[in-house]
Amino acid sequence: MDLASFFKAEFAEHHDVARRSEAALSNRFAELVRACTKSIQGGGKLLFFGNGGSAADAQHLATELTIRYKRDRVAIAAIALTTDTSALTAAANDLGFERVFSRQIEALGKPGDVAIGISTSGKSANVIAALKQARSMRLVTAAFTGQGGSELSSLTDHLLAVPSATTARIQEMHITLGQMLCGALEIELGLARE
């Protein structure tokens, strides 16, 4: 393997997907930021969930909001539904893996909260079930996905679909968009300067 060529090709693909994401998702991103701001200002919270790398992103983003992103500030209400191993294993065992997130939304979600599913493929059954549950309870629904995630469009108020079919590139854009969401929320909520 020519590692120099591999390195260069990976960055070239990353830059291409980043440019296409910037062009395609600017307005959708702004709409999601406004929805999350409205929720937090109204006493709501953000609920993040996903599987595998998307579970890690859910935890990462919830932590950026509850602890800090750029500056010390008051906490922003956010939770990752991927972190409670007792809830996850009990739900998987007793109800089936498809319900590990929807059951938690049923317990913790309130109208006006924002449920944010993260699914690279857009086909994760437990993410779909959670968004259906959230919608039935009048939560605002959102998802981060890739170009194959059109199944989520009918379940979400805000869909950020990265224009790529390559898992690694989609995941790179998801964490970038997620961290941008954290930064924008700090500013919109008046907790940090631009």
pLDDT of the chain, 194 residues: tens digit per residue: 899 999 999 999 999 999 999 999 999 999 999 999 999 999 999 999 999 999 999 999 999 999 999 888 999 999 999 999 999 999 999 999 999 999 999 999 999 999 999 999 999 999 999 999 999 999 999 999 999 878 899 999 999 999 999 999 999 999 999 999 999 999 999 987 65
Whether 71 contacts 186, CB under 8 Å: yes
Q: Residue with structure tokens 């702004």? A: 30
Picking from 162, 101, 159, the residue whose alpha carbon sits closest to that of residue 128 is 101
Q: Which CATH number fits domain 3-188: 3.40.50.2020, 3.40.50.300, 3.20.20.70, 3.40.50.10490?
A: 3.40.50.10490
Query: Tokens at residue 106, please?
Result: 């049923």
Instruction: Assign 39 to helix, strand or coil.
Output: helix
- CA pair distance 44, 189, nearest whole angstrom: 13
Whether 152 contacts 28, CB under 8 Å: no
Query: Tokens at residue 188, please?
Result: 């919109």
Query: Tokens at residue 164, please?
Result: 């790529």
pTM here?
0.96
- Read off the amino acid at residue 2: D
pLDDT at 149: 77
